[in-house]
Amino acid sequence: MKIYALVGRRSCVKEDFDMNLSKGFSMFYGSRALENKIDEFLDRISEAGLIYKKAIHVFLEHGVTEDFVTHAEQIGHIESRADELRREVEAGLYEQNLIPDLRADVLSLVEDLDAILNAYDASGYRFTIEQPVFPATLHPDILAIVDSVTNSVEQITIASRTFFRDFNSCRDYIHKVRFYESEADRISTKIKRAIYSSDLPLANKMHLCSFVEMIDNLADMAEDITDKLAIYVIKRDN
């Protein structure tokens, strides 16, 4: 089925196209190269999350060591490659005969996901530069919030991958993003309460809390994308 049908047949074409999607057909009809680029783009997000977890673990144990810097640089390289893929995907979308509304939703989704990668990258380098000193008693909770935010990002990555193939299945992952985001908020509040009830100087408290908020923001970004993705699914489902 061709997507470039005449305007008068557009609604029928859209119904057929969305029905095919719901059956598991590819959104990008006949463009394996574009599918592969999107898959690689999503792979880079997952990879960055795994490295970010390792980096924070190293930082809490040993500070800004060579290993930590290596991890931060790896995330930077991943982010650069993802930027290249994003631009290629954006160009490829305009070469596809997609319904404009669908193209706009996909473009928005890709750009929002890219912003998460940028946040991973910026967070790693901020740790490298500012080197916050968290009390050892807070280390388990810092690792716990990092687990929650990276799990949240991973679930939105899976949901996005599913959207491109079988959008109705996205609902299976959307609630998981929200669960992990809620967990991240809970742990963030716990950490900040512990910081402000400590004997640390006020400047140190504010500095440490800014890092906790920076980490927690990754889950917030994932939840924001989830809210948009839920709307994209509803639009395709009508």
Per 3-state DSSP, what percentage of the chain is helix, strand, and coil (rounded to 5)? 85, 0, 15
What is the number of other CB atoms lying within 10 angstroms of the CB of residue 55? Answer: 26
**pLDDT bracket for residue 134 (50, 70, 90):** very high
pLDDT, tens digit, for every residue of 49-101?
Answer: 999 999 999 999 999 999 999 999 999 999 999 999 999 998 888 887 767 77
pLDDT, tens digit, for every residue of 3-16?
Answer: 333 333 334 434 44
Give percent above pLDDT 90 in the chain: 68
Write down how long the chain is.
Answer: 238
Considering the chain, what is the average pLDDT of its residues?
87
pLDDT, tens digit, for every residue of 148-179?
Answer: 999 999 999 999 999 888 877 888 888 899 99
Assign domain 33-237 one CATH number from 3.40.80.10, 3.30.2090.10, 1.20.58.220, 3.40.50.40.
1.20.58.220
Residue type, 113: L
pLDDT for position 26: 58
The answer to whether the CB of 199 falls within 8 A of the CB of 146 is no
pLDDT for position 192: 98
Q: What is the largest CA-CA distance in the chain?
A: 71
Q: Which of these, 147, 150, 144, 152, lies nearest to 175 by C-alpha position?
A: 152
Q: d(Cα 53, Cα 149) in Å, to the nearest integer?
A: 10
Structure token pair of residue 9: 């047949």
> Is residue 33 predicted with pLDDT exceeding 90?
no
> Is residue 111 predicted with pLDDT exceeding 90?
yes
> Is residue 127 predicted with pLDDT exceeding 50?
yes
Q: Locate the domains of the chain by residue range.
A: 33-237
> Is residue 124 predicted with pLDDT exceeding 80?
yes
Q: Which of these, 88, 227, 214, 59, lies nearest to 145 by C-alpha position?
A: 214
Residue 124 CA to its chain's centroid (Å): 16
